[in-house]
């Protein structure tokens, strides 16, 4: 999805430039890919959190009925909604201090969770949620992570079925019917 968006962005930029200043490379730069991902996330946030986005742009508090009101949202320098909190002075990367909120039922969130699950060798739900929260905060993310792992065919096949063994009958002759301990 990010690659396709990067192609579209490059096409539009090349249409605006003169023929000598166009980008002809088949490969994307890191900046192009990051900007394409940021464009996708901005569009998703404007669609899913439209009331919150408008309120934050006008420097007003978000609605008390909002799903992200408890996270002290704000608009970052990249024009995306970010989550505030108590980690403002922590010695961490900006993305892990102020995650990007995404809605769980959105198709992009589902694709993102599935990508992280496969990228990190079919991570369990808790590890998957931890890895996602280094950059994103998906509302209802715990449920989405569990559902992704339980729907994964490879994880289901690798999960062994535990066999229950019944205890056998004890023999009639008891070799240790009387024991003693020497101190």
Domains of the chain, residue spans: 1-16+25-48
Q: What is the pLDDT of residues 31-41, one digit of tens each?
A: 999 999 999 99
Collapsing DSSP to helix, strand or coil, 81 comes out as strand
Please answer whether residues 140 and 104 qualify as being in contact, where contact means their C-beta atoms are separated by less than 8 angstroms.
yes
Would you state the pLDDT for residue 176? 67
Q: What is the pTM of this model?
A: 0.79
> Residue 141: which H helix or E strand, with range?
helix 141-151
Would you state the pLDDT for residue 163? 78
C-alpha separations of 133 from 31, 51, 53, 100, 140 in Å: 22, 24, 21, 9, 12
Residue 121 CB contacts under 8 Å (≥ 6 apart), including other chains: none
Collapsing DSSP to helix, strand or coil, 103 comes out as strand
Q: Around Cβ 82, how many Cβ atoms within 10 Å?
A: 23
Burial class (CB in 10 A: 0-12, 13-18, 19+), 35: middle
Q: Which of 93, 79, 8 has its CA nearest to residue 41?
A: 79
- pLDDT (tens place) for every residue of the chain, 183 residues total: 888 999 898 888 888 877 777 777 778 888 999 999 999 999 999 999 999 999 999 999 999 999 999 999 999 999 999 998 888 888 999 999 999 999 999 999 999 999 999 999 999 999 999 999 999 999 999 999 999 999 999 999 988 777 788 888 877 777 666 667 777
Would you state the pLDDT for residue 177? 67
The end-to-end CA distance of the chain, in Å, is 75
Strands 100-103 and 81-83: unpaired
């Amino acid at each position: 999805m990010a690659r396709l968006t990067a192609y579209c962005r490059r096409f539009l930029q090349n249409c605006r430039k003169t023929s000598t200043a166009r980008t002809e490379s088949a490969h994307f730069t890191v900046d192009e890919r990051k900007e394409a991902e940021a464009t996708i996330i901005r569009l998703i946030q404007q669609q899913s959190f439209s009331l919150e986005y408008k309120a934050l742009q006008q420097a007003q508090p978000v609605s008390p009925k909002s799903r992200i009101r408890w996270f002290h949202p704000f608009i970052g320098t990249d024009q995306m909604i970010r989550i505030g909190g108590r980690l403002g002075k922590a010695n961490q990367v900006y993305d892990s201090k102020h995650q990007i909120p995404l809605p769980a039922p959105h198709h992009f969130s589902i694709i993102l969770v599935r990508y992280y699950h496969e990228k990190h060798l079919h991570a369990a739900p808790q590890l998957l949620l931890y890895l996602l929260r280094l950059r994103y905060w998906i509302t209802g993310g715990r449920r989405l992570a569990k559902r992704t792992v339980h729907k994964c065919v490879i994880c289901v096949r690798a999960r062994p079925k535990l066999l229950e063994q019944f205890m056998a009958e004890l023999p009639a002759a008891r070799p240790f019917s009387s024991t003693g301990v020497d101190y």
